[in-house]
A and B are shown apart, each in its own frame.
Chain A
Amino acid sequence: MSFINYASREINCKIVYYGPGLCGKTTNLQYIYEKTNPSAKGKLISLATETDRTLFFDFLPLDLGTIRGFKTRFHLYTVPGQVFYDASRKLILKGVDGVVFVADSQEPRMDANVESVRNLESNLKDHGYDLAMVPYVLQLNKRDLPTAIPIEEMLRQLRIKSEPYFEAVAPKGIGVFDTLKACAKQVLIELSKK
C-alpha cells in the first residue's frame, strides 16, 4: 500500500524480497545498503537468528530522490525463507507494492524455488492480491556456483508472466541494482495509473 503524503510531499512504497531459504534475499539488501550513499538510506534492521537466518524480516528504507517535487522513498523488506516461518512471511506481504523473487540457481534448490513461488501466490491471495497484477521481478541468483542450472531451464519453471528477470551474484552486487530498479519502476508506473 503506497502512502502519498501531499502535506510533506512524500511517497512511500513497499518492496518485498521473497524466495526460499538461503537464496540470497538478505544479501541483496546488505549489498544495497553498503553501496548507497549515507544520506539516502536509513538503518538496515535485521531480525535474525544467531545463525544469521532471517527470523522475521530485514528492513531498509531508501530515499531515492524526488519525482515531480515528491520525495520518493522505498521501504525494502525481506521475508524469512525457511518453510516453517510461513506465518511471519505472510505478515510481511501486507501492503506490498512490488515483489522481487530471488531464486537460487543451484540445481538441488529448484524444488524449493517452485514451492516458494506457489507460497507467494497463495499468501498474496490471502491479502487479496493477485500475483498476476502485482509489480514483479525475477532474480536468478547464485549464478557463480558450479551447480547453477541453465537460465532457460529456470525460466521455464519459475517465470509466471512476462516479468523482467536478471542474473545475479548478490554478494558481488551483480544484478542487484538492476533488479531493484526494475521493480521500483513497475511500482511507480503502477502508481501513475491510479
Chain B
Amino acid sequence: MGASDLIMYEEEFQRIKEVISKLRVDANANVVFLVDKNGQQIAATGDIERLDTTSLASLTAGNVAATDGLAKLIGEKEFSVLFHEGEKDNIHISIVGGKVILVVIFDERSSLGLVRLRVKRSSEELNRLFQQIMEKTERERAAGESSFDSPFAEITDEDIDALFNE
C-alpha cells in the first residue's frame, strides 16, 4: 500500500499500448499483455476476445510468484524468463524492471528466438516508461493531497452501499 501503489495516467498508458502493439507485430505474436506482480492487468493487445484476460493475469502472477519462490529457495534472485510450450500456442513470460510481467502468446508463425529478441528490445522501453510513471506518481504525491486528485477523496457510506445494491 501507500507509496508503492501504481497509478496509470492517460499519456503513459497510450505509450505503453503503442510499445506492446509494436512488439506484437514485430514478434509475430497473437497476444501481448502486461500484468503487475499482483495479478492486475495493465494493458493487453492482440487476439484477446477469445481470452479470459483477467484469469490469465491472475494465473500468470501466481506462476511468477511461485517461480520466484523457487528461485529464492535455490539461491537465485529470480528466473527472469519463463517459457511454456504447448502443442499449438506458447507462452513467453518475462519480468520488466523487476516489477511488471510481460506475457507474449505466440504460435508456429513465430519462434522462440524471434520473441526473445523482440521482447528484449521492448523491455528496455517499457522499463523506461514505468520508471517515468513511478517518478510522476511520486511527484504528484509530494506536491500534496490537493493536486493529487483521487477519485475517492470524498467517498461516502452511500457510495459504498450503492456498489453492493446494484
Question: Which A residues form the contact surface with B (CB < 8 A)?
Answer: 1-8, 11-12, 14, 40, 42-43, 45, 47, 56-57, 59, 61, 64-65, 67-70, 72, 75, 87-88, 91-92, 94-95, 97, 129, 134, 177, 181, 184-185, 188-192, 194
Task: Indicate which residue in B40, B66, B150, B157 contacts A3 across the interface (CB closer than 8 Å).
Answer: B40
- The 7 tightest CB contacts between A and B, nearest first, are A95-B38, A7-B13, A192-B152, A91-B65, A64-B163, A5-B8, A68-B151
Q: Which residues of A contact B37 (CB under 8 A)?
A: 94-95
Residue tally, chain B, CB below 8 Å to A: 42
B74 at the binding interface (Cβ < 8 Å): no
Q: Which residues of B contact A64 (CB under 8 A)?
A: 163-164, 166
Q: Are A45 and B2 in contact (CB under 8 A)?
A: no
Q: Are A87 and B10 in contact (CB under 8 A)?
A: no
Residue of A nearest to B159 (CB): A67
Can you report 13 A-B residue pairs in the complex whose CB atoms are below 8 A from each other?
Answer: A1-B38, A2-B5, A3-B42, A6-B8, A45-B58, A59-B58, A65-B163, A67-B160, A68-B159, A91-B62, A94-B37, A188-B152, A192-B152
Q: Are A14 and B38 in contact (CB under 8 A)?
A: yes
B142 at the binding interface (Cβ < 8 Å): no
Residue of B nearest to A185 (CB): B160
Q: Are A1 and B66 in contact (CB under 8 A)?
A: no
Known A188-B152, A191-B152, A192-B154; contact A3-B69, beta-carbon cutoff 8 A: no
